[in-house]
Amino acid sequence: MSVLESRIISTPRLDTHLWLAGAPAKPAILLLHGNVSSAAFFDRVQAALGERYFVIAPDLRGYGRSEAKPVDATRGVRDFSDDLAALLASPELGLATDAKVHVVAWSAGGNVAMQLAIDHGARVASLTLINPGSPYGFGGTKGLDGTPCYDDFAGSGAGGVNPTLVELLAAKDTSADQPVSPRNVMNTFYWKPPFKPDPETEERYLAGMLEIAIGEGNYPGDALPSANWPNVAPGVAGMNNALSPKYLNQSEIVQLRDKPPILWVRGADDQIVSDRSMFDFGVLGELGAVPGWPGAEVFPAQPMVAQTRAVFDRYAAAGGAYTEVVVADAGHGPHIEKYDEFMAALTRFLAK
């Protein structure tokens, strides 16, 4: 296992904290974490890959120890992908100016990775997407083509985040006293119970969750009132609005001239990104957890996995290639829950 080196690299866009493993002369891998997490969640994967690759694991804007500049959600996740493009071009990092990187990305990091391929494709050799968000964003859409449930995209964005979780994240709460404490959210939804990391790793991952910038400019962002159920619509700033389908539509990846090969890895029992996500208003309304649900014709559960597969099928039909690997008995974090199985799939893919 390689030793991880902590660095901060400054670009005109951002002061980015990152972990490095391996030597710059080796082929490069970029690891991208998801929402309410940090690069710490890739520590074991990075240490193993560092034996053969130059592995770069940054904390995204507003996460971990990176600078917390506000996120312009009206650009979708382009603030993040542009930050990464600037990082890859930094002389401090030591990559050749024409070097391509293999991108391995988890959850919302998968959306950032797809945007990097769309806007900065010359830097992307391949995409490994672990339980990525739908190319049509999170919440407020229906059908395989991402049709919005309402014109104002109500039911997506920052208004969908539990305010108690936000308060506890801001308070750096490490308890297990409330159902939505950061620790309980991680152990209930990031993996499939009863899986839990060993105690030392659990504390390290929890610390990574709590290194998050809270506010309207970062997590979760601002929310607007709506006349449409569930009466909240996306604002214009912060991560969760950046993931709203009002601003995010990555189906254009199908039109890329140079299409990087895609490995899509997902836990079979994911509760966060699924066709029946427990964080989706369509599911919560159907279950009666959010009163006033207008019914499945108006606001069904967003078919996140099916939407992703539909876009990837079009990607393949247009000359690209993707492989779907479903990891049994795993939730949202198969690279942690089923480390050996994940690494075997990733190694096979990279070897091609």
pLDDT of residue 203: 98
Identify the CA nearest to 335 among candidates 323, 322, 345.
345
| pLDDT tens-digit readout, 44-102 | 999 999 999 999 999 999 999 999 999 999 999 999 999 999 999 999 999 999 999 99
Averaged pLDDT for residues 108-131: 98
Q: Which domain holds residue 19?
A: 5-351
pLDDT of residue 2: 82
| pLDDT tens-digit readout, 5-24 | 999 999 999 999 999 999 99
Averaged pLDDT for residues 188-213: 98
pLDDT of residue 352: 87
pLDDT of residue 339: 98
pLDDT over 90 (residue 228): yes
The pair of structure tokens assigned to 280 is 């989706």
CATH number of the domain within which 34 lies: 3.40.50.1820
pLDDT of residue 296: 98
pLDDT over 90 (residue 351): yes
What pLDDT band is residue 121 in, cutting at 50, 70 and 90?
A: very high
pLDDT of residue 327: 98
pLDDT of residue 183: 98
Distances (CA, A) of 200 to 145, 183, 186, 207, 211: 43, 13, 15, 11, 17
**C-beta of residue 137 within 8 angstroms of C-beta of residue 248:** yes
293-309 burial, b at 16+ Cβ within 10 Å, e below that, comes to beeeeebbbbbbbebbb
What pLDDT band is residue 1 in, cutting at 50, 70 and 90?
A: confident
| pLDDT tens-digit readout, 276-305 | 999 999 999 999 999 999 999 999 999 999
Number of domains in the chain: 1
Residue 47 CA to residue 339 CA, distance in Å, equals 12
| pLDDT tens-digit readout, 147-168 | 999 999 999 999 999 999 999 9
Residue 82 CA to residue 40 CA, distance in Å, equals 22
Residue 331 CA to residue 193 CA, distance in Å, equals 8
Q: How many CA atoms lie within 13 A of 222 on its CB side?
A: 12
Give the residues across from 128 on adjacent strands.
104, 263
Amino acid of residue 282: G
Q: How many CA atoms lie within 13 A of 131 on its CB side?
A: 29
Averaged pLDDT for residues 206-217: 98
pLDDT of residue 146: 98
Q: Tell me if the pTM is above 0.75.
A: yes
Residues of the chain with pLDDT > 70, as a percent, come to 100
**C-beta of residue 181 within 8 angstroms of C-beta of residue 206:** no
Residues of the chain with pLDDT > 90, as a percent, come to 98
pLDDT of residue 318: 98
- Continuous H helices in 4-42: none
CA dihedral 134, 136, 138, 144 (to 10 degrees): -70
What pLDDT band is residue 253 in, cutting at 50, 70 and 90?
A: very high
Q: At what angle do helices 78-89 and 108-119 cross, to 10 degrees?
A: 60
- Across all residues in the chain, what is the average pLDDT? 97
pLDDT of residue 166: 98
pLDDT of residue 313: 98
Angle at 247 between CA 303 and CA 86, to 5 degrees: 115
pLDDT of residue 238: 98
pLDDT of residue 197: 97
